[in-house]
Amino acid sequence: MNKTAFITLIAAGAQESMRATGVPASFTIAQAALESAWGESGLTKSAMNLFGIKADKGWKGPTVTIPTREYVDGKWVTVPALWRKYLSWAECLTDHAQFFIVNKRYAPAFKHTDNAEQFAIAIADAGYATDPQYSAKVIATIRSNNLTTFDKLEKKA
């Protein structure tokens, strides 16, 4: 799927999530693009999981096991992982923001709902991914695709 088509498919859901939760739409779109390889990853295709959200002990929904690469002790290793499985991208988008809200370690990010780049840094600092370059990659995706335009919502009358 090309980048424009991917952005078009999830932009409205990302903006709706932003209205409801404060998570910047540009961050949501960039993170989905990065985690799902623009909608083409095996996890996205088999589990509708755009964000690489693992199925932790508290997850009550369906799951799928797929190998992943993790950065451990200074090197990349492949390990099996249990992932959340969704019925649709819309369901995944809704769960994405809730994941950040219910996991208190991400609370500092919500001080930056008006700045997607700072939000990305806070999410990475809280341990979202093992990749030491994670926030830089999300920020680069935001910038290279001009995604902050999706953070500007029209005021509802």
What are the chain's domains?
Answer: 3-149 (1.10.530.10)
pTM: 0.90
pLDDT above 90: residue 155 = no
pLDDT surpasses 90 at 116:
yes
Is 157 or 59 the better-scoring residue by pLDDT?
A: 59
Residue 18 or residue 69, greater confidence: 18
Query: Per-residue pLDDT averaged across 108-123, rounded?
Result: 97
129-151 pLDDT per residue, tens = 889 999 999 999 999 999 999 99
DSSP bridge pairs for 69: 78
Query: Which of 140, 121, 126, 112 lies closest to 34 in space, CA to CA?
Result: 140
Question: pLDDT tier at 156 (50, 70, 90 boundaries)?
Answer: low
CB 7 within 8 A of CB 97: no
What does pLDDT average to over the chain? Answer: 93
Inter-residue contact 125 to 111 (CB < 8 Å): no
The span from the CA of 93 to the CA of 71, in Å, is: 26
Give residue 157's pLDDT band: very low, low, confident or very high (50, 70, 90). Answer: very low
Give the mean pLDDT of 54-83.
Answer: 90
Which residues are catalytic, by number? 70, 95
